[in-house]
């Protein structure tokens, strides 16, 4: 059966990995900086941080934005649990916003109706690599003076009006490089900041709040005059993970091209069908086609039929508002309709669609 996800790993990297393992330099170093440089070049953004995991990336973002227990954030429940669980960890109050049932993307009108004086940040998830209405969401939040975080957990390489996610004017963008993403660093992630000051604050938070330029005195001992002013995490990516990331970035364009070609074949196959249609794409968006999204009349039957044809189909995620950890099990019409009809089929680099 053709899998819905598959971890990519470049060929012939064993020698370099062995050298790293015995180099005495396993923590963040030259490969970490090289990986960040390649991310900057690919995305077209200056302020990029690589981190040890997507979860750490989200926690760093929450800390960098100064969010505290009890603060209110708005997010979409149509997303990966990994996107929203950090809110529970931080004790934030989550207000769920409805989605457009034709796209799965955050509904601008519903978002606007739910912003209050207590809203501290908006987390705009781009479900399965299909970008939402970024211009409308950003315009609404800018009018209220509220920061927006583009949650690109599955959307690295997705484009909007010719520019890649992370270079679309949003305050912060978060990516995952977990095993089934592109690129994957076995585990890892990245954060992109529009603002230099937030980026520099996040640099400290990524590394326990430490300013490494003054952390040690000339004799190599810890400098007591180096104050720790912000909370922080063990968020630096290792040299091993960073090296794997650099090699994956060498192949990223060709891998995404295969996925785009596979999507074109699915587009043709699902044209003018009564029981299943391609997921509607936001105007100006080119998804990365991490998966290929469809909307079908009978979700259970569609998944079964695809599996019988040798394609592993799935709903991917379930709406997160059902989980008691978020204490907000509100019923949302668009969310319910989308979840009841969305089915993803394989579109990845590992097969040639025919």
How many Cβ atoms sit within 10 Å of the Cβ of residue 70?
Answer: 11
Same domain (yes/no): 18, 78 = yes
Same domain (yes/no): 126, 40 = yes
Question: Tokens at residue 197, please?
Answer: 């000051």
Q: Last residue of some domain: 201, 224, 250?
A: 250
SS3 of 70, please? coil
Same domain (yes/no): 170, 284 = no
Q: At what angle do helices 239-269 and 30-43 cross, to 10 degrees?
A: 30
Residue 278 bridge partners (DSSP) = 294
Tens-place pLDDT, residues 133-167: 999 999 999 999 999 999 999 999 999 999 999 99
Tens-place pLDDT, residues 71-95: 999 999 999 999 999 999 999 999 9
Same domain (yes/no): 263, 233 = no
State residue 193 phi and psi, 5-degree precision: -115, 140
Q: pLDDT 10s digit of each residue in the chain, 354 long?
A: 999 999 999 999 999 999 999 999 999 999 999 999 999 999 999 999 999 999 999 999 999 999 999 999 999 999 999 999 999 999 999 999 999 999 999 999 999 999 999 999 999 999 999 999 999 999 999 999 999 999 999 999 999 999 999 999 999 999 999 999 999 999 999 999 999 999 999 999 999 999 999 999 999 999 999 999 999 999 999 999 999 999 999 999 999 999 999 999 999 999 989 999 999 999 999 999 999 999 999 999 999 999 999 999 999 999 999 999 999 999 999 999 999 999 999 999 999 999
Q: Which of 312, 269, 291 is nearest to 158 (CA)?
A: 291
Looking up tokens 């109050």 gives 93
Q: What's the rounded Cα separation, in Å, for the pair 95 and 25?
A: 44
Q: Last residue of some domain: 250, 281, 309?
A: 250
Report yes or no on 284 lying in a domain. Answer: yes
Are 342 and 79 contacting, i.e. CB atoms less than 8 angstroms apart?
A: no
> What is the model's pLDDT at position 272?
86
Same domain (yes/no): 78, 205 = yes
Range of the domain at 266: 252-345
> What is the model's pLDDT at position 353?
95
CATH code for position 139:
3.40.640.10
Report yes or no on 4 lying in a domain. Answer: no
DSSP string, 255-266: HHHHHHHHHHHH
CATH code for position 280:
3.90.1150.10
Question: Tokens at residue 14, please?
Answer: 């064993």
Q: What's the rounded Cα separation, in Å, for the pair 249 and 244?
A: 9
Residue 51 bridge partners (DSSP) = 189
Same domain (yes/no): 130, 24 = yes
> What is the model's pLDDT at position 127?
98
Question: Tokens at residue 218, please?
Answer: 């000339």
Report yes or no on 354 lying in a domain. Answer: no
Report yes or no on 350 lying in a domain. Answer: no
Report yes or no on 6 lying in a domain. Answer: no
Q: Which residues contact 196 (CB under 8 A, 6 or more apart)?
A: 47
Q: Last residue of some domain: 231, 250, 269?
A: 250
Question: Tokens at residue 139, please?
Answer: 């315009």
**Is it true that the peptide bond before 183 is cis, omega within 30 degrees of 0?**
yes
Same domain (yes/no): 274, 218 = no
How many Cβ atoms sit within 10 Å of the Cβ of residue 7?
Answer: 12
**How many domains does the chain divide into?**
2
Report yes or no on 113 lying in a domain. Answer: yes
- Global model pTM greater than 0.85: yes
Same domain (yes/no): 68, 149 = yes
Q: Which of 74, 42, 268 is nearest to 166 (CA)?
A: 42
């Amino acid at each position: 059966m053709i899998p819905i996800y598959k971890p990519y790993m470049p060929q012939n990297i064993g020698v370099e990995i062995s050298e790293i393992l015995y180099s005495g330099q396993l923590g963040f170093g030259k490969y970490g900086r090289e990986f960040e440089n390649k991310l900057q070049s690919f995305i077209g953004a200056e302020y990029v941080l690589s981190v040890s995991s997507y979860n750490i990336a989200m926690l760093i973002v929450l800390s960098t934005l100064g969010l505290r227990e009890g603060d209110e954030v708005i997010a979409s429940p149509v997303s990966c649990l990994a996107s929203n669980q950090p809110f529970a960890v931080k004790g934030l109050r989550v207000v769920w916003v409805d989605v457009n049932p034709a796209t799965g993307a955050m509904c601008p009108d519903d978002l606007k109706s739910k912003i209050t004086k207590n809203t501290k940040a908006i987390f705009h998830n781009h479900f399965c690599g299909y970008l939402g209405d970024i211009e409308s969401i950003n315009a609404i939040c800018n009018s209220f003076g509220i920061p927006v975080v583009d949650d690109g957990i599955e959307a690295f390489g997705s484009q909007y009006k010719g520019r890649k996610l992370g270079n679309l004017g949003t305050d912060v963008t978060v990516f995952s490089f977990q095993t089934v993403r592109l690129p994957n660093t076995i585990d890892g992630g990245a954060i992109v900041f529009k603002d230099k000051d937030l980026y520099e604050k996040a640099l400290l938070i990524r590394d326990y709040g430490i300013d490494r330029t003054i952390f040690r005195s000339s004799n190599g001992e810890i400098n007591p005059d180096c104050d720790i002013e912000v909370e922080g995490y063990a968020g630096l990516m290792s040299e091993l993970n960073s090296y794997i990331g650099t090699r994956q970035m060498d192949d990223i364009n060709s891998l995404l091209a295969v996925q785009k070609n596979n999507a074109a074949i699915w587009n043709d196959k699902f044209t003018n069908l009564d029981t299943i249609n391609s997921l509607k794409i936001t105007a100006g968006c080119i998804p990365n086609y991490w998966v290929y999204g469809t909307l079908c009349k009978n979700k259970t039957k569609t998944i079964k039929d695809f599996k019988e044809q040798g394609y592993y189909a799935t709903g991917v995620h379930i709406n997160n508002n059902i989980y008691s950890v978020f204490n907000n099990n509100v019923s949302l019409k668009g969310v319910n309709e989308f979840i009841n009809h969305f089915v993803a089929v394989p579109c990845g680099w590992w097969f040639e669609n025919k």
